[in-house]
């Protein structure tokens, strides 16, 4: 991609109302644009990052048997009335009337999946079912001020599973828990899995995936020795105490951002929406159900909250918009050839071919935050200067050396 035609240009200053780091840096770098509070466009660079996040999620969902589909976002009031959630969701759900009919914009899809199940499930042989989709969700957030972390319209991956029994549900629930851990490891997060109470749906605990971040709105307690963690709402102890699980480590507290959550919902939905199957003796039983969410746009915002310095964003390699930022300084003769050779090797390159000064180019490279920077200039001749975003060290290398470094 040639930077001279990339839309939009970077900005020197953050918008005046931008309070959070992700808002400031993602707008300045040209990744996102705010239409109104809580409503964002993913610009081409931002869309590339989210697409890569989605692909990691997709691979891990498919690996545990998930089947991808796409459900509607516009729902009739009637389906939400079946579970009594139309009234309950009034504060957060966009609900409106058009030509005498009432509709809601989805913030989740349990009711729709339940409707699909009752149309298609007859016996225990039809279960289990694992389906997921990536779609826009709507939520009328009272406080939509944390940049892209908290949108009124945002992207969600939600997975739903349906089972014959509680034990089958919990087996799969633990598989999803492992898959989520794989996803967040691949993305590069320092995260904790914390327990939270199940609320009205289940006596079981639910789990949240929390990334430690100074800019976070959540607060978690975790052990400095084992994998124990709980969120603030349910933990009765305090920092410095002995860990309730391993009895060895100390309880610590940290601000955090929730990037994923998983819920064993039991039979609450099936009982209200009459989703039954016949077991092997022909007896009618309610379907056991679970739902599992990750917000990819929130993941992007979180990556910026935990990956930045005073100059700009630092993307992890797995989800960076490009692998390489090729910076062409005036007088360089070989930039086009290098760009073409790297691209032919399947390496994703943003080529800064703009006619602006070196200082501006370097500042933009730091702001955009692509992991590897290559500088070609008259002074360097046939050699190319290699620098990683996380280091001040530069090296002069040949193109072959650079290709083998990138491919390793």
Q: How far is the CB of 252 from Zn ion (least distance, A)?
A: 10
Tokens of 147: 């940049």
226 binds Zn ion (CB under 5 A): yes
Single out the residue of 317, 316, 377, 376 nearest to residue 348, CA to CA: 317
243 binds Zn ion (CB under 5 A): yes
The single residue among 249, 253, 286, 316 that binds Zn ion, judged by CB under 5 A, is 249
Cα dist from 196 to 174, 185, 205, 235, whole Å: 15, 21, 6, 9
245 binds Zn ion (CB under 5 A): yes
Q: How far is the CB of 177 from Zn ion (least distance, A)?
A: 18
Q: Of the two residues 76 and 253, which places its CB atom closer to Zn ion in the complex? A: 253
Q: Of the two residues 254 and 275, which places its CB atom closer to Zn ion in the complex? A: 254
244 binds Zn ion (CB under 5 A): no
Residue 144 CA to residue 132 CA, distance in Å, equals 26
Tokens of 399: 């193109």
225 binds Zn ion (CB under 5 A): yes
Q: Of the two residues 157 and 192, which places its CB atom closer to Zn ion in the complex? A: 192
Q: How far is the CB of 245 from Zn ion (least distance, A)?
A: 5
Q: Of the two residues 238 and 284, which places its CB atom closer to Zn ion in the complex? A: 238
Binding residues for Zn ion, total number by CB under 5 A? 8
Q: Of the two residues 105 and 193, which places its CB atom closer to Zn ion in the complex? A: 193
69 binds Zn ion (CB under 5 A): no
Q: H or E segment at 256? A: strand 251-266
Tokens of 336: 């086009």
Single out the residue of 159, 181, 183 nearest to residue 264, CA to CA: 159
Q: Tokens 């630092």 belong to which residue?
A: 314
Q: Of the two residues 185 and 247, which places its CB atom closer to Zn ion in the complex? A: 247
Q: Which residues of 318-352 are buried (b: 16+ CB within 10 A; e: fewer)?
A: ebbbbbbbbbbbeebebbeebbebbeeeebbbbbb
Length of the chain: 408
Sheet hosting strand 74-76, strand order edge to edge: 74-76, 101-105, 94-98
Q: Of the two residues 180 and 228, which places its CB atom closer to Zn ion in the complex? A: 228
Q: How far is the CB of 276 from Zn ion (least distance, A)?
A: 42
The single residue among 130, 138, 180, 228 that binds Zn ion, judged by CB under 5 A, is 228
* 307, 315 contact by CB (below 8 A): yes
| Crossing angle for the helix pair 399-407 and 335-344, to the nearest 10 degrees | 30
242 binds Zn ion (CB under 5 A): no
246 binds Zn ion (CB under 5 A): yes
Q: How far is the CB of 195 from Zn ion (least distance, A)?
A: 13
Q: How far is the CB of 237 from Zn ion (least distance, A)?
A: 12
The single residue among 223, 259, 265, 313 that binds Zn ion, judged by CB under 5 A, is 223
Residues that bind Zn ion (CB under 5 A): 223, 225-226, 228, 243, 245-246, 249
């Amino acid at each position: 991609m040639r930077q001279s035609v990339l839309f939009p240009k970077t900005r020197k200053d953050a918008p005046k109302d931008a309070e959070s780091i992700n808002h400031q840096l993602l707008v300045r770098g040209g990744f996102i644009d705010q239409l109104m509070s809580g409503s964002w466009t993913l610009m081409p660079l931002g869309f590339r990052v989210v697409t890569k996040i989605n692909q990691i999620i997709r691979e891990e969902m498919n690996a545990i048997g998930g089947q991808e589909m796409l459900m509607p976002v516009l729902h009739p009031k009637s389906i939400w009335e079946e579970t009594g959630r139309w009234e309950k969701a009034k504060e957060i759900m966009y609900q409106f009337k058009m030509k005498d009919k009432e509709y809601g914009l989805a913030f989740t899809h349990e009711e729709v999946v339940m409707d699909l199940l009752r149309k298609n499930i007859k016996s225990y042989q039809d279960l289990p079912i694992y389906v997921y989709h990536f779609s826009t969700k709507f939520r009328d957030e009272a406080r939509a001020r944390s940049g892209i972390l908290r949108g009124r319209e945002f992207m969600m991956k939600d997975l739903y599973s349906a089972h014959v029994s509680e034990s089958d549900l919990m087996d799969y629930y633990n598989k999803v828990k492992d898959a989520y851990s794989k996803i967040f490891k691949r993305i590069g997060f320092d995260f904790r899995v914390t327990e939270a109470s199940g609320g009205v749906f289940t006596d079981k605990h639910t789990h949240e995936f929390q990334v430690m971040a100074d800019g976070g709105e959540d607060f978690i307690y975790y052990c400095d020795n084992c994998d124990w963690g709980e969120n603030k709402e349910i933990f009765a102890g305090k920092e410095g105490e002995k860990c309730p699980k391993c009895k060895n480590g100390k309880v610590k507290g940290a601000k955090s951002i929730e990037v994923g959550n998983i819920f064993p919902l039991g039979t609450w939905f099936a009982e209200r929406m009459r989703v039954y199957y016949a077991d092997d003796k022909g007896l009618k039983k309610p379907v056991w159900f679970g739902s599992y969410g990750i917000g990819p746009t929130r993941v992007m915002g979180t990556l910026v909250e935990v990956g930045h310095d005073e100059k700009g964003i630092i993307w992890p390699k797995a989800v960076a918009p490009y692998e390489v930022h090729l910076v062409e300084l005036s007088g360089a003769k070989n930039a086009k050839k290098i760009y073409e050779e790297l691209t032919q090797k399947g390496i994703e390159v943003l080529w800064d071919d703009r006619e602006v000064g070196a200082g501006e180019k370097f500042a933009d490279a730091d702001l955009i935050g692509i992991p590897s920077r290559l500088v070609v200039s008259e002074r360097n001749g046939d050699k190319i200067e290699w620098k990683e975003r996380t280091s001040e060290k530069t090296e002069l290398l040949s193109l072959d050396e650079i290709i083998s470094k990138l491919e390793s």
